[in-house]
A and B are shown apart, each in its own frame.
Chain A
Amino acid sequence: MKNILNYSYYPGCSLHASAQEYEASTRGLFKALKIGLHEVPDWFCCGATPAHNVDELLSLALCAKNLSLAENVAGDLAVACAACFSRLKTTQHRLIDNDAKRQQVEKAIDGPVPLGKKVKHLLEILARDYGLERLQSAVQKPLAGLKVACYYGCLLTRPPEVPELDDCEAPTIMEEVLKATGAEPVSWSHRMECCGANFTLSRPGVVLKLSGDILASAKAAGADCIMVACPLCHGNLDIRQGGIEQASGTRFDLPVFYITQLLALACGVSTERLGLESMIVSPMPLLREKSLL
């Protein structure tokens, strides 16, 4: 088997801003694993939730435009953000047997929609394309003793016909990837509950409640930290954690890692490239306690 994997890459807006640690650790990890990532030049925002919320056609057109830009870069399209992933896949799903809609979108972007371009979330690339066994053997510094709550959120599995990533109610892909690092996934109840990402700006109160429940559930299950695969989830669970603690009067102190951060750490990528210092809830005490630094 030829082991050189190469992907076109759609980072999405957050990875160039609030989720820069996700971007950094992704690049670091993929380099260590010798997986090629080639950023699609001049990609646009996928429209995220606000666009489809009020204007399906716009949302589809934005994603279609990105897909057609991605056509210029060889390889399946790697996507880091769960929301971008969901929007791009939704676009393909909605247009594949709806000629009328497809024609509208084609007209809007003045070109064909590449429905055949395979869109893959990083998780899928790591667990399936690269493979769990290889991942395991790439681990140099097992994260032994680290108890992690894997958080899927909404869009990695729902609705089942769109992401086609894993079982929509009982997914295991994150836990499997995590286990490859030697860390221990905890079993907890809120791994697929919604964090309220959409209301970060407009109704932070919503976020406090929903994300608060998630944090509480992870804490109750004995997790040391949370692992996410989406910058929006991260924003709520990490950036807002302080606010949630204040509002609820509970102390969580749960660092929220991106999946690539933990993997990169285990694979021996230099800690400078993990963006650990960008995290609002500092992971340093935990990592030191577990002797993982």
Chain B
Amino acid sequence: MSRIGVFVCHCGENISRTVDVERVAQAAARLPGVAYATDYKYMCSDPGQSLLKKAIAEHNLDGVVVAACSPRMHEKTFRKAAEATGLNPFVCEMANIREHCSWVHEDREEATAKAIDIVKLMAARVRRNRRLAAITVPVTKRALVIGGGIAGIQAALDIADAGHEVVLVEREPSIGGHMAQLSETFPTLDCSQCIMTPKMVDVANHPKITLHTYSEIEEVGGYIGNFQVTVRKKARSVDMAKCTGCGVCMAKCPQKKIPNAFDKDMGTRPAIYVPFPQAVPNTPVIDRENCTYFKSGKCGVCAKVCGPCAVDYTQQDELVTEQIGAIVVATGFDLYSIEPKPADSPIQGYGEFGYGTIPDVIDGMTFERLASASGPTGGKILRPSDGKEPKEVVFIQCVGSRAREKGISYCSKICCMYTAKHTMLYKHKVHDGQAYVFFMDARTPGKNYDEFWRRAIEEEEAVYIRGMVSRLYQKGDKVVVMGSDISVGIQVEIEADLVVLATAVQARKGADTLAQKLGISYDKYNFYSEAHAKLKPVECATAGIYLAGACQGPKDIPDTVSQASAAAAKVMTLFAKDQLEREPIVARVNERFCAACFACKKVCPYGAVEEKEIRDRQGNLIRVVASVNPGVCGGCGTCQATCPSKSVELDGYTDEQVMAMIEAL
């Protein structure tokens, strides 16, 4: 740029009170490359902007410096004005002589000298500015939702209701996630299945939703607006198109004794099964590990009894590739198990609670199944060892949670509430029973939550004991609980019929593998990381990928659903445009000089640097160089500062521009 215009603003008196603006303009006019300089009372006002536009046209300017307030205030304003005259907006820059000068200095001489320097720096920079074109990328308006728990279901329905296509991928044979296993839910005690199943059916029937159950993400490529996702549809051994869901196969399957994981192994299921009666889709799968046919080639009963001939033992895994514009990750959580940990595990576990050797020590989810009307006991609280109704039930909170050395250091957030719920459900079902809860703190910071907890104590007569339990052991048909009440300072011993452990919420096993496929980050516990804890709680730092539910951290249903709807809204915001436009502050690689050391690739926080193969006309590989994907690059410039051969440059902050400013110091 060699015909730069400098416009010095008085900002009423805000600048001119301490800075001699006329002298600044005069000095600016003498700077190399400056063709025109003036000052004006209010540059951002309409007349001010007109003045700028007129000057550009009249003096044939090819660069602009507005010496005024902070660019954070008005850079957009002046770039737009410049653009209106046909100038490239990125050759217009602001020199901040207000926030950084007139407002922070009193001495007129000094302030004026500094203002001149500031203008000088910016003019030197603008001389080297390039015309940049805003970057646009097309948007595929089709969302992928990974995980079909309440989070995934809510997000999928919201996006689909907005009229966009959704692909929902669920690993299990049915959607529903943990919520489908719950009995009644705090803080209102409504039946989980009653509020959940209609939503599951809506997903199945929604014309905009493609549901892949019993499926996993195989591969993810591309970037915001343009992902390619390959889904592995595992072989169900049942043709979904033919199956009517009549259930005859399940009734006739001779393999009936397989522990039912959905019921926490308390009941059994056949080898061809749906996880629970309200499953969506209601199409069975054959559990090949336990099916006689797959183990020994015999049986084949289900195929014989199936009227529509839906059973297909030869079915193979199928790979489907989907074009996707945005991804919502909603893969939920796992529960911490108190089983012994392998020797190399950094956490020790809870041997003192019986390692699953005491049958009447169960976890919270098992209690949910016991309390659930559709559970293995039909909603009666009966203990696993002998099927008797327990009269003294002890609940222990924070098992695995908040235990930095034995388990994990965070609070699982939901167990205080669900334990309070459990004591109530128990009291509702066993009127003459007594519930005890060992706890450290009651963390109930939600709407109507503390009231709920207090109700458990005051109305349902649960006895809360502030203190933890050292050990559990079997004594006859009782489980002895060795605890302490720290308020009284005395040890407490309870001979319980049933002990329920509120085990911690943990990240999904394998969450890190999925994160690596998606290129998103996760914390040290393998929960997915949001881009900003407060202001971008549903976005991943990787553009175009959003988070919903417990995969991001322990969450109850209200929080999960809020986040899922928020993630859906973010997807819709993205889909509201056909093209994505973004500031062209992105890095570019000079392929001729790139030494292929990939130092840039290592430091890039966005994974924007790819390895690009350069081939000759015959297609022979000549060499590999770095290449920045402009759709992904965040524009931090770390690569450039890192590149030892200076082969990558950040547009808008090139070495040339920076050096010019330094020269002008």
Q: A and B: direct contact (Cβ < 8 Å)?
A: yes
Seen from chain A, the residues whose Cβ lies within 8 Å of a Cβ on chain B are: 160, 167-170, 187, 189
Q: Are A189 and B475 in contact (CB under 8 A)?
A: yes
Q: Are A167 and B475 in contact (CB under 8 A)?
A: no
Measured in the bound complex, the distance between the Cα atoms of B340 and A160 in whole Å is 13
Q: Are A167 and B473 in contact (CB under 8 A)?
A: no
Given contacts A167-B351, A169-B350, 13 further A-B contacts (CB under 8 A): A160-B348, A168-B351, A169-B351, A169-B352, A169-B355, A170-B340, A170-B351, A170-B357, A187-B474, A189-B473, A189-B474, A189-B475, A189-B480
Return chain A residues, CB-CB under 8 Å to B474: 187, 189
Return chain A residues, CB-CB under 8 Å to B348: 160, 168
Minimum C-beta distance from B228 to chain A (A): 48
Closest to A217 in B: B475
Q: Are B340 and A167 in contact (CB under 8 A)?
A: yes
Return chain A residues, CB-CB under 8 Å to B351: 167-170
Measured in the bound complex, the distance between the Cα atoms of B475 and A116 in whole Å is 43
Closest to B472 in A: A189
Measured in the bound complex, the distance between the Cα atoms of B351 and A189 in whole Å is 13
Minimum C-beta distance from B494 to chain A (A): 15
Minimum C-beta distance from A111 to chain B (A): 34
Among the interface residues B351, B352, B357, which one has the most CB atoms of the partner chain A within 10 A?
A: B351
Seen from chain B, the residues whose Cβ lies within 8 Å of a Cβ on chain A are: 340, 348, 350-352, 355, 357, 473-475, 480
Q: List 18 A-B contacts (CB under 8 A).
A: A160-B348, A167-B340, A167-B351, A168-B348, A168-B351, A169-B350, A169-B351, A169-B352, A169-B355, A170-B340, A170-B351, A170-B355, A170-B357, A187-B474, A189-B473, A189-B474, A189-B475, A189-B480
Minimum C-beta distance from A33 to chain B (A): 28
Measured in the bound complex, the distance between the Cα atoms of B348 and A168 in whole Å is 9
Minimum C-beta distance from A282 to chain B (A): 30
Return chain A residues, CB-CB under 8 Å to B352: 169
Measured in the bound complex, the distance between the Cα atoms of B474 and A168 in whole Å is 18
Closest to B357 in A: A170
Minimum C-beta distance from A59 to chain B (A): 24
Minimum C-beta distance from A74 to chain B (A): 29
Return chain A residues, CB-CB under 8 Å to B350: 169
Measured in the bound complex, the distance between the Cα atoms of B140 and A55 in whole Å is 73
Return chain A residues, CB-CB under 8 Å to B355: 169-170
Measured in the bound complex, the distance between the Cα atoms of B59 and A256 in whole Å is 108
Measured in the bound complex, the distance between the Cα atoms of B474 and A160 in whole Å is 23
Measured in the bound complex, the distance between the Cα atoms of B42 and A216 in whole Å is 94
Measured in the bound complex, the distance between the Cα atoms of B480 and A285 in whole Å is 34
Measured in the bound complex, the distance between the Cα atoms of B340 and A189 in whole Å is 19
Minimum C-beta distance from B358 to chain A (A): 11
Return chain A residues, CB-CB under 8 Å to B340: 167, 170
Closest to A187 in B: B474
Closest to A190 in B: B473
Among the interface residues B355, B473, B480, which one has the most CB atoms of the partner chain A within 10 A?
A: B473
Measured in the bound complex, the distance between the Cα atoms of B352 and A170 in whole Å is 8
Return chain A residues, CB-CB under 8 Å to B473: 189
Measured in the bound complex, the distance between the Cα atoms of B419 and A172 in whole Å is 33
Measured in the bound complex, the distance between the Cα atoms of B348 and A270 in whole Å is 43
Measured in the bound complex, the distance between the Cα atoms of B351 and A169 in whole Å is 5
Measured in the bound complex, the distance between the Cα atoms of B351 and A187 in whole Å is 15
Closest to A168 in B: B351
Return chain B residues, CB-CB under 8 Å to A169: 350-352, 355
Closest to A157 in B: B351
Measured in the bound complex, the distance between the Cα atoms of B352 and A167 in whole Å is 11
Return chain B residues, CB-CB under 8 Å to A170: 340, 351, 355, 357
A-B interface, 6 closest residue pairs, ranked by CB to CB distance from nearest: A169-B351, A189-B473, A170-B351, A169-B352, A170-B355, A167-B351
Measured in the bound complex, the distance between the Cα atoms of B480 and A168 in whole Å is 19
Measured in the bound complex, the distance between the Cα atoms of B354 and A169 in whole Å is 8
Measured in the bound complex, the distance between the Cα atoms of B474 and A288 in whole Å is 32
Minimum C-beta distance from B286 to chain A (A): 37
Minimum C-beta distance from A171 to chain B (A): 9
Measured in the bound complex, the distance between the Cα atoms of B348 and A105 in whole Å is 31
Measured in the bound complex, the distance between the Cα atoms of B410 and A51 in whole Å is 39
Minimum C-beta distance from A135 to chain B (A): 23
Measured in the bound complex, the distance between the Cα atoms of B473 and A187 in whole Å is 11
Minimum C-beta distance from A113 to chain B (A): 26
Minimum C-beta distance from A11 to chain B (A): 30
Measured in the bound complex, the distance between the Cα atoms of B575 and A198 in whole Å is 73
Measured in the bound complex, the distance between the Cα atoms of B358 and A169 in whole Å is 14
Return chain A residues, CB-CB under 8 Å to B475: 189
Closest to A220 in B: B475
Minimum C-beta distance from A218 to chain B (A): 13
Closest to A221 in B: B475
Closest to B471 in A: A169
Among the interface residues A160, A169, A170, A189, which one has the most CB atoms of the partner chain B within 10 A?
A: A169
Measured in the bound complex, the distance between the Cα atoms of B342 and A167 in whole Å is 10
Measured in the bound complex, the distance between the Cα atoms of B475 and A189 in whole Å is 8
Closest to B475 in A: A189
Measured in the bound complex, the distance between the Cα atoms of B355 and A189 in whole Å is 14
Among the interface residues B350, B475, B480, which one has the most CB atoms of the partner chain A within 10 A?
A: B475
Minimum C-beta distance from B339 to chain A (A): 11
Return chain B residues, CB-CB under 8 Å to A189: 473-475, 480
Measured in the bound complex, the distance between the Cα atoms of B352 and A22 in whole Å is 30
Minimum C-beta distance from A91 to chain B (A): 23
Measured in the bound complex, the distance between the Cα atoms of B473 and A170 in whole Å is 11
Measured in the bound complex, the distance between the Cα atoms of B473 and A288 in whole Å is 33
Measured in the bound complex, the distance between the Cα atoms of B348 and A160 in whole Å is 9
Return chain B residues, CB-CB under 8 Å to A160: 348
Minimum C-beta distance from B348 to chain A (A): 7
Return chain B residues, CB-CB under 8 Å to A167: 340, 351
Return chain A residues, CB-CB under 8 Å to B480: 189
Measured in the bound complex, the distance between the Cα atoms of B350 and A167 in whole Å is 11
